[in-house]
């Protein structure tokens, strides 16, 4: 496989949504002088187990030809966006998930369409997208939206902040993204976990006898947000930061912001995430329903590469 080290890697599968991800990735790579690597992974070995290898070879040849056609079209689109882009391609003989996860060990970023071949406009994200977003070693961007829509190029970068390790990584990446784009950064801290409370059979009693001192709690949460941003504004003095603290379910508020943002960034797991959990509920909700591209950042990816 062609080396994807330091590149923005895009999963290509023949779908219009994957080509939309190629356009987005090319627009990201061009001004940063980053290489772009287009990958079409397939594994046909499961299709034939007989003694005669001829049918299997024919299948490989047909798949390889189809993959090359799709990669050539994706490369054409990438150069349409950035004529001077360095673009490489590969056809790893692996299924897409393991191929992309392997590439994520050295890639700068992975970009994927929200659903693959056969996906309908507006449908939930596909299995490849969810698996790679949850397990990759580098940030993963899911380019949300319909194939016939343009990707948002205006609006702020929005980052979800909750004080977790993964959130710390998201903040670091968010400042860098906002600086490159020359746009404000909106740091959103939503601190209500009402979904959990509302599932309790004694919710009314709980809320009556454990009153929350709203103003005190709000001030405490502002402090948590300030602590999470500490040091980053000094490192990126030209990035304007708008702080938003709200008593709301995090996914609700971030989904609302996705209608005004050009990119929403969250950690792979938030506070309360169980060790070993691949992708938190907020990340899942954004990947399925956001109105702009969504970046999922793993704490280990920023530790290893930043």
Q: 148, 180, 210: which is the final residue of a domain?
A: 148
Q: How many residues does the chain have?
A: 306
Give the end-to-end CA distance of the chain in Å, rounded to a whole number.
Answer: 25
The answer to which of 68-77, 174-183, 195-204, 229-238 has the lowest mean pLDDT is 195-204
pLDDT, residue 178, reads: 97
E-strand spans in the chain? 8-11, 36-39, 87-90, 109-113, 140-143, 157-160, 185-190, 241-246, 263-267, 294-297
Q: Say yes or no: 28 and 170 in one domain.
A: no
What pTM did the predictor assign? Answer: 0.84
- Give the mean pLDDT of 70-82: 97
Token pair for residue 208? 């009556």
pLDDT in tens, 4-42: 899 999 999 999 999 999 999 999 999 999 999 999 988
The answer to which of 35-39, 118-122, 144-148, 288-292 has the lowest mean pLDDT is 118-122
Q: Say yes or no: 138 and 190 in one domain.
A: no
How many domains does the structure of the chain reveal?
Answer: 2
Q: Say yes or no: 162 and 242 in one domain.
A: yes
Token pair for residue 81? 């966006």
Q: Say yes or no: 188 and 71 in one domain.
A: no
Asked if 247 and 214 count as a contact pair (C-beta separation under 8 A), the reply is: yes
Q: Say yes or no: 36 and 79 in one domain.
A: yes
Q: Say yes or no: 208 and 258 in one domain.
A: yes
**pLDDT score of 63 more than 90:** no
Q: Say yes or no: 195 and 105 in one domain.
A: no
- Give the mean pLDDT of 114-124: 50
For residue 174, CA distances in Å to 69, 72, 131, 188, 193 come to 35, 32, 22, 12, 24
**For residues 298 and 269, what is the distance between their CA atoms, to the nearest angstrom?**
8
**pLDDT score of 113 more than 60:** yes
Q: How confident is the model at residue 170 (pLDDT cuts 50, 70, 90)?
A: very high
Q: What b/e sequence results for 249-268 when a residue is b if at least 16 CB atoms lie within 10 Å of its CB, and e otherwise?
A: bbbbbbbebbeebbbbbbbb
Q: Say yes or no: 167 and 47 in one domain.
A: no
**pLDDT score of 50 more than 60:** no
Q: Say yes or no: 200 and 140 in one domain.
A: no
**pLDDT score of 200 more than 70:** no
CATH of the domain at 158: 3.40.50.12370
47 DSSP 8-state letter: G
């Amino acid at each position: 496989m062609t080396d994807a080290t330091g590149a923005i890697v895009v999963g290509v599968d023949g779908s219009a949504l994957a080509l939309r991800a190629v356009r987005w990735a090319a627009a990201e790579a061009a001004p940063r002088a980053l290489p772009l690597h287009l990958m079409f992974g397939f594994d046909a070995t499961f299709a034939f187990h007989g003694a005669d290898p001829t049918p299997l070879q024919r299948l490989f040849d047909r798949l390889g030809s189809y993959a090359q056609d799709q990669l050539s079209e994706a490369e054409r689109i990438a150069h349409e966006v950035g004529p001077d882009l360095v673009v490489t391609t590969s056809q790893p003989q692996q299924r897409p998930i393991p191929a992309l996860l392997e590439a994520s060990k050295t890639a700068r970023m992975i970009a994927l369409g929200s659903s693959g071949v056969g996906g309908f406009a507006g449908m939930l994200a596909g299995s490849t997208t969810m698996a790679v977003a949850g397990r990759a070693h580098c940030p993963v961007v899911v380019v949300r939206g319909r194939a016939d829509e343009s990707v948002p190029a205006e609006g702020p970068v929005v980052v979800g902040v909750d004080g977790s390790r993964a959130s710390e990584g998201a903040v670091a990446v968010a400042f860098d993204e906002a600086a490159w784009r020359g746009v404000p950064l909106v740091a959103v801290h939503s601190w209500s976990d009402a979904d959990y409370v509302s599932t309790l059979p004694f919710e009314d009693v709980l809320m009556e006898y454990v009153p929350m001192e709203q103003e005190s709690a709000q001030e405490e949460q502002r402090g948590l947000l300030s602590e999470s941003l500490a040091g980053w504004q000094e490192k990126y003095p030209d990035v304007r930061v708008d702080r938003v603290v709200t008593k709301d379910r995090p996914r609700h508020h971030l989904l609302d912001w996705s209608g005004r943002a050009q990119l929403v960034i969250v950690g792979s797991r938030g506070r309360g995430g169980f060790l070993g959990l691949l992708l938190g509920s907020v990340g899942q909700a954004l990947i399925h329903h956001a109105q702009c591209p969504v970046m999922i950042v793993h704490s280990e990816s920023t530790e290893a590469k930043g």
